[in-house]
């Protein structure tokens, strides 16, 4: 990697006095006087500012203008403290707190605006222990339960390349009927992809409920089971689940849950690698991130990613099919 770090970026303001007050009092910036105008410094990072009297030597092809910036700042503490701070400063919160994904991973954000209308964001990576999902006792795992307050996944962009891709010519072992090559199946196929189903009474991998998007594979499978007839009535020819677990492991869940469709195994990760599907690793396992693919004659036409909550996954697909 080259030795590069972010030094500064640029915003444009229309009123120095008004913006200086906002960026110092609300955003906590150090005010830096320039020969003409000011800059706003945050530790060893800086916002250079174009404003009245400033004639920059170099500008972007579309120069930054008042109100067209979108900036995120880390709030070092609970996001509730950020909300109270904005209230004390008389700044309206436009959205949030809502889950977001930033430079340090999953966080919680609130959105507001500077005096010129540029979008500001405070993101907090602090986790409120009171809002963490309740832990199951050892040996008491119930995979059908979706705990409250499980962290939501965020769109990390890892599935944006999939729409329009043709599926690889690969057979995938199934919990019944041998194997399926999705690339040659005619008609519309719904493929829901999940990390791993749990087994009743068998403890989850350490920290599983804290991983955004990990918990809920059994509820997602049950949602497609319960909406199976509706999906077929909407013209879906095939429904499959897919994970990286082996077929024997998957068969136990498919039989226990009375799934009316096969579950496919990509235990060797060939399908995953061919499509560059998003994955994560836990307890030595490479697992797929949750998503749903709508496939027409072997070509991906629609991608649902991220999927949350998982127990509403099939209903979301049904709603999309009805609109399409």
Output the CA–CA distances (angstroms, integers) from residue 194 to 162, 217, 288, 321, in the order listed: 16, 6, 6, 21
The terminus-to-terminus CA distance of the chain in angstroms comes to 44
Q: In the numeric block, which tokens belong to residue 144?
A: 């059908």
The Cα–Cα gap between 301 and 187 comes to 12
The Cα–Cα gap between 122 and 186 comes to 48
121 a catalytic residue: yes
30, 58, 74, 121: the active-site residue: 121
The 3-state secondary structure of 39-83, one letter per residue: EEEECCEEEEEECCCCCCCCCCCCCCCCCCCEEEEECCCCHHHHH
The Cα–Cα gap between 61 and 71 comes to 19
Helices (H), 125-262: 217-226, 228-233, 247-256
Active site residues: 121
């Amino acid at each position: 990697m080259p030795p590069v770090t972010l030094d500064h970026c640029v915003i444009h303001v229309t009123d120095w006095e008004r913006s200086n007050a906002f960026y110092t009092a609300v955003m906590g910036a150090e005010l830096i006087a320039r020969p003409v105008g000011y800059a706003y410094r945050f530790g060893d990072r800086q916002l250079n500012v174009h404003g009245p009297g400033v004639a920059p030597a170099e500008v972007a092809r579309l120069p930054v203008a008042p109100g067209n910036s979108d900036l995120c700042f880390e709030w070092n503490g609970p996001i509730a403290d950020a909300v109270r701070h904005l209230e004390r400063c008389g700044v309206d919160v436009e959205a949030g707190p809502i889950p977001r994904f930033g430079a340090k991973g999953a966080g919680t954000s609130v959105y507001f605006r500077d005096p010129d209308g540029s979008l500001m964001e405070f993101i907090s990576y602090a986790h409120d222990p009171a809002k963490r999902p309740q832990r199951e006792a050892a040996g008491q795992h119930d995979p059908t339960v979706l705990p409250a307050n499980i962290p939501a996944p965020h769109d990390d962009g890892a599935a944006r390349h999939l729409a329009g891709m043709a599926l690889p010519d690969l057979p995938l072992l199934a919990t019944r009927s041998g194997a399926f090559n999705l690339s040659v199946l005619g008609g519309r196929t719904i493929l829901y992809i999940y990390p791993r189903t749990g087994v009743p009474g068998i403890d989850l991998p350490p920290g599983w409920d804290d991983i955004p998007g990990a918990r809920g594979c059994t509820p997602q499978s049950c949602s497609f089971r319960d909406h199976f007839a509706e999906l077929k009535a909407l013209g879906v020819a095939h429904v499959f689940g897919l994970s990286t677990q082996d077929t024997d492991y998957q068969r136990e869940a498919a039989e226990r849950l009375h799934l009316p469709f096969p579950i496919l195994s990509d235990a060797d990760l060939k399908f995953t690698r061919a499509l560059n599907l998003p994955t994560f690793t836990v307890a030595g396992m490479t697992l797929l991130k949750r998503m749903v693919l709508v496939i027409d004659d072997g070509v991906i036409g629609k991608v649902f990613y991220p999927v949350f909550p998982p127990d509403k996954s099939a209903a979301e697909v049904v709603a999309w099919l009805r609109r399409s």
